[in-house]
Structure 1
Amino acid sequence: MIMTNMTTGDKVVLYFQPCGWFGSGRYEVDGYVYNANEEPKILMTGKWNESMSYQQCDGEGEPLPGTELKEVGLKLADAPKDDKYQYTHFAHKINSFDTAPKKLLPSDSRLRPDRYALEMGDMSKSGNEKSSMEERQRAEKRTREEKGRSFTPKWFDITEEVTPTPWGDLEVYQFNGKYLEHREAADKSEDNTDPKSIPFNPWQFQDMST
């Protein structure tokens, strides 16, 4: 796994070790933090289901004299109670209607019918809802192409910048601040609509029935 700081060029490369016979190597992760010049600076080791440790290293990836392996402050939290899918507390929180802001956006993943059915343990309904959503997605694309319109993000604007990545050159979008305006207006409103009553709709064209 590679995580790159697109601003500085620093990156961390982690290798998830395959599990051997009788569980040997299970959960183990090793890797390095590299600077923009591809030089290793910090070695990382640990288990992804427990905790990670780090230590400064030389250009060959060997620990520097006088340094010691230190554990990263964060540790894996206990699994949430009654969890069905091994979600973290954070994943449960961002999918919960209890944390939903006022005037929830119709594109919010909390409203996805397939996700909610899965949360309720209804696998059959979740599969059907997912298929239905994919059909709506294809319908939106057809409608957009028939009208000669290109996809335009609402909360981001494309820039003239192109950034090289391991997956090729990618266009860069920047946040345009419009969501903050929407959120400020929503927070000031007296609209207390139940977020569960909002139909899920992440597409640009509202009516997908035609």
Structure 2
Amino acid sequence: MTSGLSLFGNAMHRSVNGLLGYEGVEVINPEGGKEDAEEEAHRGRWKQEAFLQLMEYSYLLDRADECEDPYLRLVYASSWAISVYYAYQRTWKPFNPIIGETYELVNHEGITFISEQVSHHPPMSAGHAENEHFTYDVTSKLKTKFLGNSLDVYPVGRTRVTLKRDGVVLDLVPPPTKVNNLIFGRTWVDSPGEMIMTNLTTGDKVVLYFQPCGWFGAGRYEVDGYVYNAAEEPKILMTGKWNESMSYQPCDMEGEPLQGTESKEVWHVADTPKNDKFQFTYFAHKINSFDTAPKKLLASDSRLRPDRFALEKGDLSKADEISATPWGDLEIYRFNGKYTEHRATVDSSDGIDEVDLASIEFNPWHFSSNMLPFSILLK
């Protein structure tokens, strides 16, 4: 009996890790699904992509940086934080991340983005994004609690956004996530609880409550809450659905909408390609391509993973050929500003400027004795 429970527990651990992006594959259509969705549905995604999807609506952080009103600034920034939850409707499995695996983004709204898988046990990723308006730094780490047919996921990492104009620092604490029907039924994800974004510079904050899904789907996706000043007095009411849009309206001390004001939409989910079956926006499809990659791509970039190419060709045996090894036990990874210097060195290296990026051999920094681990640039 004990042996049976142990085997069951190990199987569930693998299943849960797979769902969260630590093992297995996610089968989707990465290139838009306009004409050949079925043929391309065998391509894979990777875990670093979750970070990147926050950058789809980076214009909200640009507006937050430009905004004079400190409370409206939090409206823009918190709406940006909510925007990524649209992707939570996708419960397919991405590839198992590899120590030292990186991802870079260029050619999108002036943003430079870099992320890396910095630990395998426990799974941890670190990311940094920057443009003329903001910097974004995240250490992603999770704790989980298995509850039979469901799983509670608690974020224990750290997310910070710095708005450059005034040097405002925003700290984000996301709500927990619940993965339902792990064993029986169709798997789906909900995030009941509070999201809190605090302006560490002024003490203002926004508290948004993600409604739990009730019977027959009642209340699912709904979000509401307030922007508070440092004295915890409500200033702005926010309402919406995390899979559709968010709106705001000035409110009185009781939290009621002010007379003579109206609700204004601040964010709406982007369009998806016609007949797309996987709920991917145009941006989500785009990030799997080399169009968003630097001309001189790092050999550790996720786009180059041989198991991803093997999956496209139907060779599933490649999935286990690259294994991960432990990498330290840092709790928070901090970007130290050396990425620009390192990228300049790569770009100025000898060689042909225009190369077939897909021909570069995948090589995570962690496994190369003659290359500087990219993690050092993030610590």
What is the SS of the residue equivalent to 2:348? helix
Determine whether 1:20 maps to 2:214.
Answer: yes
CA distance in 2, matches of 1:87, 1:52: 19
Report the equivalent of 1:64: 258
1:94 Cα deviation from its structure 2 partner: 1.9
The code of the aligned residue for 1:198 comes to I
Per the alignment, residue 142 of structure 2 pairs with none
**CA offsets per residue over residues 41-86 of structure 1, 9 Å max, x none?**
32211122222111123454332343221111x3222323564532
The answer to whether structure 1 residue 194 and structure 2 residue 356 are counterparts is yes
Unmatched runs of 5 consecutive residues or more in structure 2: 1-173, 175-194, 370-379
Distance in 2, Cα, partners of 1:205 & 1:105 = 14
Gap change, CA 1:58 and 1:82, over 3 Å in 2: same
CA distance in structure 2 between the aligned counterparts of 1:196 and 1:63, rounded to whole angstroms: 54
Bigger Rg, structure 1 or 2: 1
Q: Which amino acid aligns with 1:14?
A: L
Aligned-residue identity in percent: 60
SS of 2:262's partner is coil
1:100 corresponds in structure 2 to 293
Superposition TM-score, scaled by structure 2 size:
0.38
Alpha-carbon separation, structure 2, partners of 1:6 and 1:200: 40
Cα distance in 1 for residues equivalent to 2:271 and 2:313 = 22
When residues 26 and 199 of structure 1 are mapped into structure 2, their CA distance, relative to the original with a 3 A threshold, is same
Hey, what's the Cα distance between the residues in 1 that align with 2:209 and 2:353? 48
Q: Please list, as runs of the form range in 1=range in 2, the aligned pairs for 1:5-84 lying within 5 A after superposition.
A: 8=201, 10-35=204-229, 38-72=232-266, 74-81=267-274, 83=276
What does 1:166-205 correspond to in 2, within 5 Å? Answer: 172-176=334-338, 177-182=340-345, 185=348, 190-205=352-367
- Structure 1: segments with no counterpart, 5+ residues: 145-149, 152-168
Whole-Å Cα distance in 2 between the matches of residues 6 and 106 of structure 1?
Answer: 38
The one-letter code matched in structure 2 to 1:87 is F
Q: Which residue of structure 2 lines up, in the alignment, with residue 162 of structure 1?
A: none
The one-letter code sitting in structure 1 at the alignment partner of 2:366 is: Q
Distance 1:194 1:97 in 2: 10
TM-score normalised by the chain length of structure 1:
0.62
Contact 1:28/1:48 (<8 A) preserved: yes
- CA offsets 1:6-60 (integer angstroms, 9 cap, x no match): 6635543332222222332232122233445554432211122222111123454
1:50 maps to amino acid = E
Residue-pair matches, total: 174
Q: Show the counterpart of 2:126.
A: none
Alpha-carbon distance in structure 2 between the residues aligned to 1:103 and 1:116: 20
Cα separation, partners in 2 of 1:198 and 1:50, compared to 1, 3 Å: same
| Separation in 2, partners of 1:32, 1:121 | 50
Give the RMSD, CA atoms, in angstroms. Answer: 3.7
Q: Work out the CA distance in 1 between the residues paired with 2:230 and 2:318.
A: 46
- Kindly report structure 1 stretches of 4+ aligned residues shifted beyond 6 Å: none
Residue among 278, 284, 288 paired with 1:85: 278
- Kept in 1, the 8 Å contact 2:310–2:318? The answer is no
Change (3 A) 1:58 1:109: farther
Give per-residue Cα distances to partners, 1:63-115, cap 9 Å, x unaligned: 2343221111x322232356453222222222212332211112322223455
Residue type matched to 2:305 in 1? Answer: R
